[in-house]
Structure 1
């Protein structure tokens, strides 16, 4: 059995096993698993409104997953996507309402660029500390997550004269689109999904079709060999983290310019950045895989909201299912060995 087939089967089997275990948990807890999964399906695909909101839920997960996956592919663990996303969120919201008089064709890209720049800068700090001072990126990025949370909260309070959210972004900077809302029964679907899909292609192109992408992967694979080959290791570490931050910052822009139309004070992290780690894991750090991982993750997250209403099942059950799926993916080595042994037995026959 080829590695490509095995790489495809491991996440699929993990999802199936996760759903089976979730069904068992529902039955053991006294719920009807069929009713539960029917409610989950209807919450995701029940009507055009549900489909639109599901796609909207998937959008920031794609970008958070890309941010984590890009860092992984270059030998880094960017656990600071949450903080970078929050910085991008605030930057997009501020540019979206504070700059007036611009046409949409200029204002919207400007707000997106501001978000990308804010996320990139926050990740650059992590890369710089790693490259120049040998500070481990996990430690630095975790600390910067908290810094970003409290910094954005303080900035929002200042910008809103003591309020808890910024003014609403101007129409010229919004990602919302009336046609998309009309065909999805006035759901919250917005143009951000197009931005996210473009970024999937961008990540693939950088890593697979450019010399710089080859260098970034080489440094991540073996720093010593890359340095011996004449590559600037420190520069590539900083660049890899910065590009990862661009994806994260754009994830924040999806919320600021599309879903909420503002930035608001948060008692805790949004969770999207941390969920991006699970998305990247589900997608095997491949941009196309991240898209499918985000689609599964976002669908389960949104569809679970319908389970208490339609089947009386707590949405926490879906959190358990997601956790079990991730557990099986993380234990992919066992599945991989099993599939390879099964393939060899078939070939032996």
Structure 2
């Protein structure tokens, strides 16, 4: 008679501990897109610091006897980098060397002024991104908005604020039509929006040049220069803080545009259709969404948002008359702002303020510290580079890739399986 078989006790089921709220929040932060933008800015600033130190004459002189007195070079690097970013802060946020608070706060108002067109144009680019379109026609849309707003402002005589409102509406409408052309061609013929918007940029540039060189359209009466007459007071955006500062009401319009774009994308049925088309046009078409109409509509609205940038330049910043360079590269900088802001209205607002600070503070860095302004441009370009390569940023900081199990957990699972097999 065989001995009875001994039954091994069943292993107790492994109890999984639910992650806490803070763990879930931290996981969402490190795997989200916002942390990539912050880290991209951090890396770009570090690289910019290296370039500032490398181009500084005191650092170069101290490097010649580094092995004899290494602390001299370290002190020179610290003085060069800290002095540069202190100048950036004084030029962009608050000048703590000023005699009065009213004078010290002037750099912040300049930053907000520079950020106004960047925010508005970034919204136009970001909105198109959310619908799956690459709107790089910001330059042309801005130029058409400037032409229309400038024409209404200088050719008609209405009382304030009707004159100002008419000029703003004309500028936004012209930019909307210019953006809508690319959307219509995309919807009807399948023409790629990158090609059409680039061509429209060139057309707008030369069309504005012709308007500025033709009497009776935009050229100032009695002048042979390609420049408009000064904007009349009835069509100028009011100064928010008085004549001492250059911050105008265009900043408030940009903030209203941020609120409108957020509502459009997050709370409206039309914004839901935009996002659905951007995620998967084929699935959106199966769901009954007219994809072509969405392309046309989103480019109309995107063009109008970019038009706010052109209007704010003409009626707020360049009120003494403008020439063909009124866009000042803002149409292309808006692409960087939209990328840094991850096409989110609030993110674009923050990115526009950051780039406005770079533009304003860069002049102070150059004048007080002798730092080339090109370093600021390099920092901006590096931000775009790192934002375009999220896996690179995550690898540099050891952050987990979204949707991928961390190696630590994979190794723990393999060890647990080996333990079960050996038992």
Instruction: Work out whether 1:223 is the aligned partner of 2:281.
Output: yes
Query: In the aligned structure 1, how far is the partner of 2:112 from the partner of 2:325?
Result: 26
- Structure with the larger helix share: 1
* Gap regions ≥5 residues in structure 2: 1-25, 58-79, 96-103, 413-423
Residue in 2 aligned with 1:21? 47
The Cα shift of 1:227 comes to 1.3
Q: CA deviation at 1:341?
A: 6.0
What is the aligned counterpart of 2:235 among 164, 173, 192?
Answer: 173
Q: Distance in 2 between matches of 1:175 and 1:333?
A: 44
TM-fit CA distance, 1:218: 1.1
Match of 1:43 in 2: 91
- Distance verdict in 2 for CA 1:341–1:284, change over 3 Å: closer
Matched, 1:261 2:319: yes
Correspondence 1:30-179 to 2 at 5 A? 30=56, 32-45=80-93, 46=95, 47-104=104-161, 106-158=162-214, 159-160=218-219, 161=221, 162-177=224-239
TM-score when normalising by structure 2:
0.77
- What's 1:206 paired with? 264
Preserved contact between residue 142 and residue 327 of structure 2 (Cα < 8 Å): no
| Cα deviation 1:245-266 (Å, max 9, x = unaligned) | 0011111001000000155332
Tell me the number of residue pairs that the alignment of Structure 1 and Structure 2 aligns. 344
| Aligned-partner SS, 1:317 | helix
Shift of 1:193: 0.6
Query: Does the CA contact (< 8 Å) of 2:310 and 2:327 recur in 1?
Result: no
Structure 1 stretch displaced more, 221-230 or 153-162: 153-162
- Tell me, in whole angstroms, the C-alpha distance in 1 between the residues paired with 2:198 and 2:49: 35
Residue in structure 2 matched with residue 318 of structure 1 by the alignment: 376
8 A Cα contact 2:341 2:350, kept in partner: yes
The separation in 2 between residues aligned to 1:264 and 1:24, in whole angstroms, is 38
1-structure distance, mates of 2:385, 2:304: 28
Change (3 A) 1:341 1:329: closer
d(CA) in 2 for partners of 1:274, 1:85: 11
**Deviation beyond 4 Å, 4+ runs, structure 1:** 341-349
Measured in 2, the distance between the counterparts of 1:201 and 1:244 equals 14
Identify the residue that residue 301 of structure 1 maps to in structure 2.
359
Structure 1 unaligned regions, length at least 5: none
**Do 1:149 and 1:268's aligned partners in 2 also have CA atoms closer than 8 Å?**
no
Greater Rg over alpha carbons, structure: 2
Decide which of 224, 248, 251 is 1:193's aligned counterpart.
Answer: 251
How many Å separate the matches in 1 of 2:284 and 2:159? 46
- 1:120-170: per-residue Cα shift (whole Å, max 9, x none)? 000011011111111100000001101101101111222325432111222
**1:43 to 1:91, Cα distance in 2 relative to 1, 3 A:** same
TM-score, length basis structure 1? 0.93
Q: How far did residue 347 of structure 1 move? A: 8.8
Is contact 1:116-1:249 (8 Å) kept?
Answer: yes
Distance 2:313 2:144 in 1: 12
Aligned alpha-carbon RMSD (Å): 2.1
- Aligned residue for 2:300, secondary structure, equals helix
SS in 1 for 2:343: coil
1:195 aligned counterpart, secondary structure? helix
What are the Cα deviations for residues 12-32 of structure 1, in whole angstroms up to 9, with x where unaligned? 111111111100111111251
- Which has the higher mean CA deviation after the structures are superposed, 94-103 or 335-344? 335-344
